[in-house]
Structure 1
Amino acid sequence: MSQWYYPKGSLRQGPWEAVVDESLPGWQYTGMRIADSADSDHFTIPADGKERVIYMLSGKATSVTYTVDGESSTVTLDGRVSVFHGAVDYLYLPINTEISFSTDGRVMVVEAVASVSKPVSLRKAADVPLLLRGAGRSSRQIHDYGGVDHLDADRMVAVEVVAPAGNWSGVPPHKHDTYIPGVESNLEEVYYFELAPDRSHAPEGEVDPIAYFRTYSSDEREMDEMMEIRSGDIVLVPYGYHGPAAPMPGYDLYFTNVMAGPDPDRSWRVTDDPRHVWIRDMWESEEVDPRLPYRAED
């Protein structure tokens, strides 16, 4: 039986805090690796048939050496205080690239099975498109480092999302599990979550940041999950409607997601649950949450 929810620590492989790849039942196209300097001072990834984006979740800097077509280069990725402190540097590397890096913090590697070798791309934090989607309690912030319009990749689609405390991301619930040209894409999706107390407060003592994430069937394929989410948890969405991702009041929510699939084209098109699509009409009379955008200096 396939498993879709993985609490922090349950996907550890060697020095990697988590590895999502095709070794997991029911998974084929996307993946994720998380590295922490507390576990090792050096990480390596052999050349293979996957394209990747590397960036820091937190920490000061990461030094990445990569080899493409026999030529080696080294770049330094600047970090950030936390995932709630704005965008960060992102390095895209194509298939058949040997990678090694050293870091003083936590590093995310998102990946997708690919076949076409695209150019290496380094995008600095200041150049990352920052998008605000939704309105009212559906407001959220997007760091679009890996979307179809902002990254020249072969298969991967990836973004970071921040939802302020009490807001609902992924509303209305939507799906991308059936290829309909020009209408809907067929994409697997991996979510990695972090939570923290609302930055306008400084609670004393122990806290327990919590969010909730929902997935359910869109057709005959069985899916019915309501998950309690904490920092470091990972969720796989192979098909079905998904959303909302909603933090409790008092806690901010971050997630990164990476998508890829078998479609003949690289696109991100979704179909809303028709029972909830009317919610989009509410945004016309609502303002974007004034707590957004979250920036590095906040």
Structure 2
Amino acid sequence: MTTNSRHHLPANSTRSGPYSLNITPSWASWTSLRILDLPPGGRHTFPTGDSEWIVLPLTGGCTVFTEGEAFELQGRASPFTATTDFVYAPRDTHLTLATALGGRFALPGARCQRRLPARYRPASGIPVELRGSGPCSRQVNNFAAADTFECDRLIAVEVLTPGGNWSSYPPHKHDQEHPGEESALEEIYYYEIAEAQGTAGLGYQRVTPSGPGHRTDVLAEVRTGDAVLIPDGWHGPSIAAPGHDMYYLNVMAGPGAERAWLIRDHPDHAWIRGTWPRQPVDPRLPLYPAGDPR
């Protein structure tokens, strides 16, 4: 079930070479996201061009070569088992991934101006936040949030929603510049859904129009490997089917002079935040703490 399929990219619909997902600024304006599948002994090189990039292991680990340095990423078994270490690579260079055992790697990127140094961050340094409460409880891994890791434009976080819960809720937006109130950020959501009882899972994503010139309207059934493009609009909820935990990677960037995540809640639903102090956080969270080696 999908409305406005231009913004819903089912798994493998943009497959290109080793990338099972390949979203570039030709699809978006500022952001990129590639999902790179490498077999055992696999190696892949690409130019960073006018964008900054992060190498984020989804499964497996790798060695990253860039700027004359080699960074070893231990990685993880899956996004549902642990945080992961990652590498940042600047624009105007080359980036190589090499893996002995194989793996799947997310490559979020954003067009940028400044050329920052290549850097490594360990899994133990990833801030893990519990957001919301009750059925709106979710876990946020703030690996490259605006206030946790320096980039020029790129903002990226991971969100884990226990089965049956709603996240990205209340619906919110960041599609217009209101100084001090709202950033101008386009966004990509990339999903993986946990299997249960031998059955693949699913979830739902809603985006509604937010005003003149901002007409994005999406109701998508999402599965592992899917992505949703959100150039504007009220986005949320992201709904995890009961029994199936939902993971999504958020990739954001925009034209604003300040790299910040400032949002406005939908006025019809903002009241839900006021109910959170009266409800406990879902006891299933956190799925794992920062640096958990499981």
Q: Note the C-alpha offset of 1:43.
A: 1.3
Q: What residue is the counterpart of 1:186 in the other structure? A: 184
Distance 1:130 1:210 in 2: 24
Q: What residue is the counterpart of 1:45 in the other structure? A: 46
Equivalent position SS for 1:278 = helix
Equivalent position SS for 1:281 = helix
**Do 1:15 and 1:40's aligned partners in 2 also have CA atoms closer than 8 Å?**
no
Written as runs of structure 1 = structure 2, the 5 A alignment for 1:224-243 is 224-243=217-236
The answer to whether the aligner puts 1:62 opposite 2:34 as a matched pair is no
Distance 2:191 2:122 in 1: 23
Q: Note the C-alpha offset of 1:22.
A: 1.7
The answer to whether the aligner puts 1:100 opposite 2:96 as a matched pair is yes
Misfit runs of 4+, over 4 Å: none
Q: What residue is the counterpart of 1:137 in the other structure? A: 135
Q: What residue is the counterpart of 1:222 in the other structure? A: 215
Equivalent position SS for 1:88 = coil
Residues 45 and 230 of structure 1: is their aligned pair in 2 closer, same or farther, counting only changes over 3 Å?
A: same
Q: What residue is the counterpart of 2:116 in the other structure? A: 118
Q: What residue is the counterpart of 2:175 in the other structure? A: 177
The one-letter code matched in structure 1 to 2:235 is H
Instruction: Report the aligned-residue RMSD.
Output: 1.6
Q: What residue is the counterpart of 2:81 in the other structure? A: 85
Q: What residue is the counterpart of 1:31 in the other structure? A: 32
**Do 1:137 and 1:289's aligned partners in 2 also have CA atoms closer than 8 Å?**
yes
Deviations 1:249-273 (A, max 9, x none): 0100000011000111111100000
> What is the TM-score normalised by the length of structure 2?
0.93
Distance 2:244 2:77 in 1: 17
**Do 1:57 and 1:80's aligned partners in 2 also have CA atoms closer than 8 Å?**
yes
The one-letter code matched in structure 2 to 1:244 is P
The one-letter code matched in structure 2 to 1:37 is L
Equivalent position SS for 1:251 = coil
Distance 1:135 1:156 in 2: 28
Written as runs of structure 1 = structure 2, the 5 A alignment for 1:7-18 is 7-18=10-21
Q: How many residues align?
A: 285
The one-letter code matched in structure 2 to 1:258 is V
Q: Note the C-alpha offset of 1:2.
A: 8.2
The one-letter code matched in structure 1 to 2:227 is I
Residues 169 and 115 of structure 1: is their aligned pair in 2 closer, same or farther, counting only changes over 3 Å?
A: same
The answer to whether the aligner puts 1:167 opposite 2:160 as a matched pair is no
Q: Note the C-alpha offset of 1:42.
A: 1.4
Equivalent position SS for 2:191 = strand
Q: Note the C-alpha offset of 1:127.
A: 1.1
Structure 1: unaligned runs, 5 residues or longer? none
Distance 1:5 1:233 in 2: 7
The one-letter code matched in structure 1 to 2:13 is S
Deviations 1:136-189 (A, max 9, x none): 111111111111111111111110010011111011000000011110001010
Equivalent position SS for 1:122 = strand
Distance 1:226 1:238 in 2: 15
Distance 1:80 1:247 in 2: 22
Q: What residue is the counterpart of 1:19 in the other structure? A: 22
Identity across matched positions, percent: 39
One of 7, 13, 27 as aligned partner of 1:4: 7
**Do 1:218 and 1:240's aligned partners in 2 also have CA atoms closer than 8 Å?**
yes
Deviations 1:34-87 (A, max 9, x none): 11124981111114110111111012x2111112xxxx1111101111110121
One of 265, 268, 281 as aligned partner of 2:261: 268
Distance 1:142 1:78 in 2: 21
Equivalent position SS for 2:166 = coil
